[in-house]
Amino acid sequence: MRAIRGSRIGCLARPTPVFGTRLFSHSRIISNEAKEQTPDQPSKPEAKKAEEAKGEVKDEAKPRKRPLSRVAIGGSQQGSKSFASSNSIEFASWKAVVVLIVLGGAATYYFSKEKEKLRIQREVESRRGHGKPLIGGNFNLIDTEGKPFTQENLKNDDKKFSIIYFGFTHCPDVCPDELEKLGEMLEDLKKNDNIELQPLFITCDPNRDSPDIVKQYLADFHSSIIGLTGTYDNVKNACKKYRVYFSTPPNVQPGQDYLVDHSIFFYLMDSEGNFVDVIGREADAKEGAEKIRKHVDAFIPQAEREARKESWLGFLYK
């Protein structure tokens, strides 16, 4: 009985309490699991290096901050760049608008100028009529040096207009007044516009107005005036071509003084020998010069007019 009891007592004394065994065994299991996992994990220095490496990668991904000295006061440099860019775009747009306005104004002025020239040319052509010209044509006279002067002498490549006046050297008042006005017009055009004309004085009194007489008479007026005379038939033909009326008293005796009745007009001819316009006695020198100036400025040679009809400006000539 003692043995049995002792054995039981011995058996009962050896085992540890149940709760302690379970806790111990469980803690050992956890520690063993931790030991098993430890070799797979990097050491602290290596982990630190790895974290630093990761940190460097993250830092590289982030935009680096620039020094404060490079940043514009009152905002970031990026903001200042965008502001400057917007200002440059705004300036460029304003510049483009100004350029367009200038070009538009220039184009408008050019086309209005061309349109006005065309209008004047059409008026001139309407005065000439169709087919045979109403005013102007071939004539055959001589100048004060005895040299021939014809319709061809009106033509030139310098776009130089001619202005013709019919009169006579014994005219007491009208002719001198008109020739004085002619001189004023010539001076006005030359001084203000650098326009030079070919002024002609054709006598309506060939019986008394020889080349020498005409030369002496014109010496009192503008030096550029060219005097023309000729036989009675040639002078009459020239007057007829320009629709100039003139008459002398019948049965005039040699040496007898008389007056010649004639038309009082200046006839403006272009550089192609075509009639352009007339300037009457009622117009003063300033008005006459302005009319001449307008026609000279609007003049376009025939060949150039035809070429323009085929160009991009052709719509103006239709």
List the binding residues. Answer: 171, 175, 262
Q: For 230, left (φ over 0), alpha (ψ -120 to 50), or beta?
A: left
Contacting residues for 144 by C-beta, under 8 A, at least 6 apart: 211, 212, 214, 215, 218, 226, 227, 229
- Whether residue 197 contacts residue 186, with contact meaning beta carbons closer than 8 Å, is answered with yes
- Whether residue 164 contacts residue 273, with contact meaning beta carbons closer than 8 Å, is answered with no
User: Could you tell me how many residues make up the chain?
Assistant: 318
Instruction: Could you list the residues known to form a binding site for Cu cation, using ranges.
Output: 171, 175, 262
**Selection from 236, 182, 226, 177 nearest residue 204 by Cα:** 236
Which H or E run contains 149? Answer: strand 148-150
Tokens 């040639």 correspond to 234
Which residues on neighbouring strands pair with residue 165, listed in sequence order? Answer: 201, 266
Neighbours of 137 (CB within 10 A): 15
Structural tokens at position 186: 């010539």
Exposed e or buried b per residue across 34-67, where buried means at least 16 C-beta atoms within 10 angstroms of its C-beta: eeeeeeeeeeeeeeeeeeeeeeeeeeeeeeeeee
